[in-house]
Amino acid sequence: MIGTRRLIRSHNTGAASLTRVFILRVVWLFSGCGPTPQDIQNQALQAAAQWFERANASQNTDSPPPICHAFGLIKFTDASCEDMTEHAASLLPNTREIESVKLRECYGQGAKEVCGEFAEIWFRAQDAQGTEIQEGMVLKRDDGTFRMYWYRSDTLFTELTRRSEIQDADSTQAQRALQQQRLKAVYTQLVERNPAIYSFPPCIDAQVRSSVMLGGLLAPSEVSGKELEERAKTCSLQLCLALVGRKVAPLCL
């Protein structure tokens, strides 16, 4: 049963399980009793098996891809349905074993939390190289039907982390580029107002630290060739100008 490690089998086993679920529903209908937690877990496992089967078929044939719960995609935007399908299909179906099944009333945290009927299932499987991979799936039950709400695996987590790092790097570069544009604009204004400032170039990609700063920050109106010459007397290197917010920082670099 659900408490033991159990293999999600192929289509034939899935069809037999689906028949058993149908028979159970007929029993419920005539007995007047609703599904038990065990029945609901079985239904979630059947839905998971069908989703995995469709994911594999869509990657190896012209079959349409499985459907992902739209609300799950809205709440967890870091992975698309195509991402989840591709990573699930990269694992060998006959190696997939169930680690745990848990029914939940809510899933997610903070703004991502949604309450309803959920089943959280964790598996162990292997890829084509024989590497063991952990994967988890959350299904949401609406109108008596489970739909795949959230899927992650070790490989998908790794891919999402890589994407996040690239995005962070791109964001940092964009911020630096914007900072340099602002510095150039302020520097141009300073030189136009006082040509003597031209002797002290803008700092390119410099990190502002107290150890290299010459004196305090200056408002643009306070920057003059004379003021910079005085500060440059204590600098054995090159005095250049950087921005800290709206103020100018003379640096010795």
Residue by residue, pLDDT tens for the chain (253 residues) are 333 344 444 433 443 443 344 344 434 434 446 789 999 999 999 999 999 999 999 988 889 999 999 999 999 999 999 999 999 999 999 999 999 999 999 999 999 999 999 999 999 999 999 999 999 999 999 999 999 999 999 999 999 999 888 887 777 777 788 888 889 999 999 999 999 999 999 998 788 888 999 999 999 999 999 999 999 999 999 999 999 988 999 999 9
The answer to whether the CB of 153 falls within 8 A of the CB of 142 is: no
The pLDDT value given to residue 196: 92
How far apart (Å, rounded) are the C-alpha atoms in residues 236 and 246?
27
How far apart (Å, rounded) are the C-alpha atoms in residues 101 and 119?
7
How far apart (Å, rounded) are the C-alpha atoms in residues 153 and 79?
11
Domain with CATH 3.10.450 in the chain: 11-161
Q: How far apart are the first and last CA of the chain?
A: 70
φ, ψ at 224 (rounded to 5°): -145, 160
Residue with tokens 């090159």, as numbered in its chain: 238
The pLDDT value given to residue 168: 78
CA distances (Å), 167 to each of 39, 162, 203, 205, in order? 43, 9, 26, 20
Query: Looking at 92-238, which runs of residues are DSSP E strands?
Result: 97-107, 114-126, 132-142, 145-153
The pLDDT value given to residue 34: 75
Report if pTM > 0.85: no
57 beta partners: none
104 beta partners: 118
SS3 105: strand
- CATH architecture classification, 11-161: Roll (3.10)
